[in-house]
Amino acid sequence: MRNFLSGLNEQQQKAVLHTDGPIMIVAGAGSGKTKVLTTRIAQLMESGVESFRILALTFTNKAAKEMKERVEQLLGNNEARNLYIGTFHSVFARILRGEAYRLGYENNFTIYDAEDAKSVVKTIVNELALDDKLYKPSVVYNRISAAKNALMGPQEYRNDYQIQQEDLRSNRPAIATIFEAYSRRCFKNGAMDFDDLLFNMYRLLKLYPEALLKYQTKFRYILIDEYQDTNPAQYEIIKLLGAQHENVCVVGDDAQSIYSFRGATIQNILQFQKDYEGVTTIKLEQNYRSTQTILAAANEIIKNNKGQIPKELWTENITGEKINLVQTSTDNEEGKFVADMIREQKLRNHYINKDFAILYRTNAQSRAFEECLRRSGITYIIYGGMSFYQRKEIKDFIAYLRVIVNPKDEEALKRIINYPTRGIGKTSVDRAVLAANENNITMWEVLLRANEFGYKAGGLNAIETFVVTIKSFKSMLEKQNAYEVASHVGRQTNIIKELFNDKSTEGLARYENIQELLNSIKEWIETPMDEEGGEVGDKSLSTYLQQITLLTDIVEKDPNADAVKLMTIHAAKGLEFECVFVAGLEEMLFPNALSINTREELEEERRLFYVSITRAKKQLWLSYANTRYRFGNLIQNDPSRFIDELPKNLLQQNQTKQTQENKWSNRRSGKSDYEYSNESNAAKSPIRTSTLITPITKTKEHIPSVNFKPSDTSGLQTGQKVEHQKFGFGEVTKLEGSAHNPIATICFEQNGEKKIMLNYAKLSIVE
């Protein structure tokens, strides 16, 4: 017999050699779970188990492919050919093809993806004459999807009192009716959506005993990867399939259960030992990925959760460097810090771009990092998502701004002419494009003269209303700045309102992205200096669009290319990098404001932080910003509660040496990116990370005067002498910024010239 155990540690060997009976393998981050799973499959087959008797289920096609390839490397292609390895959906679709007749389907049934399903929902909403703004396809589809993943069909949905009350409170009482019609339509069309593949697999096993017995007998050994991510439907199917032999092997980590928004429940793994008698539990606690310091931090963080399977990760790797905790004044400065640090680490430690990952809680946070990386000439890709400026809602909104500035912009015009829906359909748009081409005029001119081009009453009225709307926006350009115009567009077109009313996960993300775009415009108009330190007087919409042109011209990158990876923490699960930046560690952002209402929600946020930490192999930076624009306002932030849970002896707090400071000053004419000061944080002895090129000024200590008392600075004048609690005595040399966000340039006797946000600073006027 072949020996597959070489290279496995003691616990891994136990997991591989255990064959019969239920087993739970609690696999900590970086503990080699994929190696254990594949070796276990090879060992079963080596001991005489036929390949078609083994069922291995994963959550992603990538994981399934990797698992199958590793088994083939161990056994050879011929032996692994008949293995049932795949995602829940792919394996169940394969089974349902052969059993469809039992459920009344043809075996060539169509599988609808999410867009197909939403299209069917949209059709039904129109047929029922319901308000499509209230019953948005994405909202209704997500509601139906959640129900089916909880094994709830249309009738159960209608009969559930709590659910009906929720729909009434959201003013959508007809969702049950839509659900019924949707199910009938899919069945009539011979189609199943992704959720039906689980729902109908459960129905097959539950309603047809002969089918249940067939697959219980067929699959003698069942292995499930990432068991902590299973939802109720997947859980019940596994229980049914494994009931005869109970050779069920689940592999997972409760500390990495982060997908409750998709219907996953951590209780499935926490309760596994109660579901089967005589469960063998094996913990894989040796980590092969991270340094001892990073693991120590992860262990301390997760100990704060009550709902968990206790374990202690350890490693034989080196102790490693301390974790860098970085405080910046703004989110833009956070982006600059990260870009500068990546450049320095590449020079100092010979890293390449793909050694770095920037992780954040929400997609909207990518903007600041994208801009700073691009300006620094650092190649990057958005992993598991797309560039901030390439997201549909951002492109749609910017298209409005482009049309306002230049109505001749046909591509932008076509993008927004019927967004939000206003009754100008594809036929009307095609007619306008054709007329423009035939008459050698712009599409906009066709719309201005729509009555000359054969449009009927309904379409004509819609076009004329649209033209008036754009003209009204255009009239604002000379009198109002970019932010005032953009925010007005968002309100008047109802774009912001529609996205706000969409409470689905996708809708919330789109709403946050639009708010982030508005925040970036607001910050741009209130920033007194451009990137080269010169004056910026023109804050018009035209100048703003010109400024972001290069940022929106993102070239698609090869996922395997040498590029820094930007991604949400959810997308980072299962990945690892030499160096990791975890950004935005602020209360109400991480943990997220929507996820702190219950202990269970907060614990999932903490598990998300645990996942982010354990992606790092050698170096880890944690950063937060004192201020961040949200909903058009500059918001003061408190550091995340998770920072307080980190052992202080594991954190690095260094300051830049004077020689390094001088080197930067020579390069930037004395201007520092991080000199925008925030008084409320000055008293906290801000944490700064030592770098060769990071522009952070070392502050000379100042003890405030005994009678120090903050003054009203609304009437502050140039030439006045002031005292600052941290920077000491100085003279006001310049006042700028907006009335809502005034900024003073002050030359301090001991700390040089600094820019101070007067809304936050506490200054005492001396004379």
Poorest-pLDDT segment among 153-162, 580-589, 663-672, 682-691: 682-691
> Which tens digits make up the pLDDT trace of 52-99?
899 999 988 888 888 888 888 888 767 777 788 888 988 898 899 889
Which residues are tagged catalytic?
33-34, 225-226, 256, 615
Can you give the pLDDT at residue 544?
Answer: 81
* Cα-to-chain-centroid distance, residue 22: 35
Average pLDDT over residues 248-265: 87
Least confident of 489-498, 519-528, 647-656, 708-717: 647-656
Identity at 447, one-letter amino acid code: L
If you compute the radius of gyration of the chain from its CA atoms, what whole number of angstroms results? Answer: 30
Q: Which of 767, 733, 764 is nearest to 748 (CA)?
A: 733
Mean per-residue pLDDT of the chain: 84
Q: How does pLDDT run across 166-180, given as a tens digit for each residue? A: 999 989 999 999 999
Q: Which residue did the predictor score with more confidence, 607 or 736?
A: 607
Q: Which residues pair with 747 in a beta bridge?
A: 731, 753
pLDDT at 543 over 80: no
Neighbours of 352 (CB within 10 A): 12
Write down the H helix ranges in 527-633.
Answer: 541-552, 569-572, 599-613
Least confident among 29-33, 323-327, 684-688, 758-762: 684-688
Query: Which two three-digit tokens encode residue 281?
Result: 């539990």
Look at phi and psi of residue 685 and say left if phi exceeds 0, alpha if psi is from -120 to 50, else beta: left
Residue 701 pLDDT class (50, 70, 90 cuts): low
Q: Give the mean model confidence (pLDDT) for residues 10-22.
A: 92
573 by DSSP, 3-state: which? coil
| pLDDT given for residue 658 in this prediction | 28
Mutual orientation of helices 482-492 and 505-526 as an angle, nearest 10°? 150
**Residue 493 pLDDT exceeds 60:** yes
Per-residue pLDDT of 332-364, as tens digits, reads 999 999 999 999 999 999 999 999 999 999 988
Residue 133, pLDDT score: 85
Cα 496–Cα 521–Cα 510 angle in degrees, nearest 5: 35
Q: What is the distance in angstroms between the CA of the first residue and the CA of the last residue of the chain? A: 91
Whether pLDDT at 242 is above 90 = yes
Q: What is the pLDDT of residue 547?
A: 65
What token pair was written down for 362? 């929400």
> Rounded distance, CA 150 to CA 173, Å?
20
Report the DSSP beta bridge partners of residue 465. none
Question: Using 50, 70 and 90 to split pLDDT, how confident is the model at 594?
Answer: confident
How wide is the angle at C-alpha 265 spanned by C-alphas 264 and 267, nearest 5°? 155
